Amino acid sequence: MGYEIDKSEEQWRRELSPAEYHVLREAGTEPAFTGEYNHTKTTGVYQCRACGAELFRSDTKFESHCGWPSFFDPADSSAVELLEDRSHGMVRTEVRCARCGSHLGHVFRGEGYPTPTDERYCINSVSLKLVPEEG
Ligand SMILES: [Zn+2]
């Protein structure tokens, strides 16, 4: 609703793998410590796996040891959308791609990580696509 990229769930289902669809379109969570970008330190840009929007840059990725890729800041604050999430008996802040509305993960604040923002964007690897920097 109101996203720049507006596809039917049937279209998304055709374009995404079952694991991608479950996380991106059904707000699922990949199992901790299993994602392909969990420990990645490659320099580059992380795009939305559903629509290709630039979401995070590798220079904001940090080792949170939480089991999912963690970033302290989005590439652009308008690249992501934050929504209150009261599922599973918790109050959390959901992070979505602002361009296509796909679920990315959650953001947590004030946990004491030594980062410039003290925010942890805890993002599923399966929601992202790393485009390594050339050269
Ligand atoms: Zn997207």
- Marked catalytic residue, from 48, 51, 97, 122: 122
Which CA distances in Å does 108 have to 3, 86, 119? 24, 14, 6
Read off the pLDDT of residues 80-104 as tens digits, 9 standing for 90 and up.
999 999 999 999 999 999 999 999 9
How much is the average pLDDT of 17-35? 97
pLDDT of residue 135: 67
Q: How remote is the CA of residue 1 from the centroid of ligand 1, in Å?
A: 13
The domains of the chain, with CATH numbers, are 9-132 (2.170.150.20)
Cβ pair 29, 23 in contact under 8 A: yes
Amino acid present at 62? F
Q: Answer yes or no: 122 catalytic.
A: yes
DSSP structure string for 38-69: TT----EEEEETTT--EEEEGGGEE---SSS-
Residue 120 Cα to ligand 1 midpoint, Å, equals 19
- Residue 2's pLDDT is 84
Looking at residue 1, what is its pLDDT?
58
Distance 70 CA to ligand 1 centre (A): 18
If you measure from the C-alpha of residue 59 to the centroid of ligand 1, how many angstroms do you get, rounded to a whole number? Answer: 20
* Cβ neighbours, 10 Å, residue 22: 17
Mean pLDDT of 54-76: 97
Q: How is residue 54 written in tokens?
A: 């630039």
Residue type present at position 19: A
pLDDT confidence of residue 12: 98
Mean of the pLDDT values across residues 118-122?
97
Average pLDDT of every residue of the chain: 96
* Over residues 111-117, mean pLDDT: 95
For the record, the structure tokens of 119 come out as: 């925010």
The candidate with the shortest Cα–Cα distance to 25, out of 12, 11, 6, is: 12
Please state whether 94 falls in left (phi above 0), alpha (psi between -120 and 50) or beta: beta
The whole-number average pLDDT for the span 61-79 is 96
